[in-house]
Amino acid sequence: MNLFPNSTKEIPQTGKIPRHIAIIMDGNGRWAKQRFLPRVAGHKRGVEAVKEVIKACIERGVEFLTLFAFSSENWRRPQEEVSVLMQLFVLALEQEVAKLHENNIRFKVVGDIDRFEPQLVKLIREAEALTANNTRLTLTIAANYGGRWDIMQAVQHMFLDRPQLAKGFNEDDLAPYLAMHYAPEPDLFIRTGGEQRISNFLLWQMAYTEMYFTEALWPDFNSQSLNLAILSYQQRERRFGRTSEQLEEATSPAAKADAVTLAKQLRRAKQNA
């Protein structure tokens, strides 16, 4: 049974604030290079940006935040950098999980974590268990994650549980086995660092997600940067297959007035950026 609407089968309710934001945090290495620093300095500064964005999401009423920390393709990076990233992950879990719990934040990790060292896997499982009942924000870290892997593992687990579906199945049958079955589809996808692709991230889940790309490098991304992304999102027509005319008919006068106000806010935010 699906907890959240499937955007290809029904029109989900949307609001001015995206319920679920997904981010590819790109540009740590370039940020460090611009400052003649080692790449690890960029990754460390990126952790601080994560803290600021978590706080900003809570202040704005975002319910789900998903961060792409390490893709299944990132193992191709230099071994030294991979080792540093794993060490930073361990350090962040050791230092930050208690704070997440104190702030009523649920922590989740999606991805094939069996490849990680046992110490890291243990910390992940303990953090998930500790924060399982928290409700203020669900923070998901995608680690050793790939969108194609997600779909493949979902199919495999579905057939193990329900072998009769080998004769035929639909989206609702598969959905509970996807890695992020506990969250609604992302409303807004943000990628920092100037690249304009989704890089095998949440391929199934982002069927109708609004995309926002920014030149800002991840260590420079802050609450004002998030404001710009959300204001851009608020200007989008989320039609879900409908025409603009149908959307206009379904929009209340109050919502139309809000749209005018938001347009003014967007202009001001761009001027102040």
Q: Identify the burial level of 179 via C-beta atoms within 10 angstroms of its C-beta, where 0-12 means exposed, 13-18 middle and 19 or more buried.
A: buried
Within 13 A of 120's CA, how many CA atoms are on the CB side? 18
Are 155 and 126 spatial neighbours (Cβ–Cβ below 8 Å)? no
CA 143 to chain centroid, in Å, comes to 12
Catalytic, out of 6, 74, 103, 134: 74
User: Strand 64-71 and strand 137-145: pairing?
Assistant: parallel
Note if 26 is an active site residue.
yes
Are 26 and 218 spatial neighbours (Cβ–Cβ below 8 Å)? yes
Are 127 and 157 spatial neighbours (Cβ–Cβ below 8 Å)? no
Provide the token pair at 191: 């990628």
Backbone region of residue 87 per phi and psi (left: phi > 0; alpha: psi in -120 to 50; beta: other values):
alpha
Note if 74 is an active site residue.
yes
Residue 188 contacts by C-beta under 8 Å, 6 or more apart in sequence? Answer: 18, 20, 21, 22, 209, 210, 212, 229, 230, 233
User: Strand 20-24 and strand 64-71: pairing?
Assistant: parallel
Within 13 A of 146's CA, how many CA atoms are on the CB side? 9
Active site residues per annotation: 26, 74
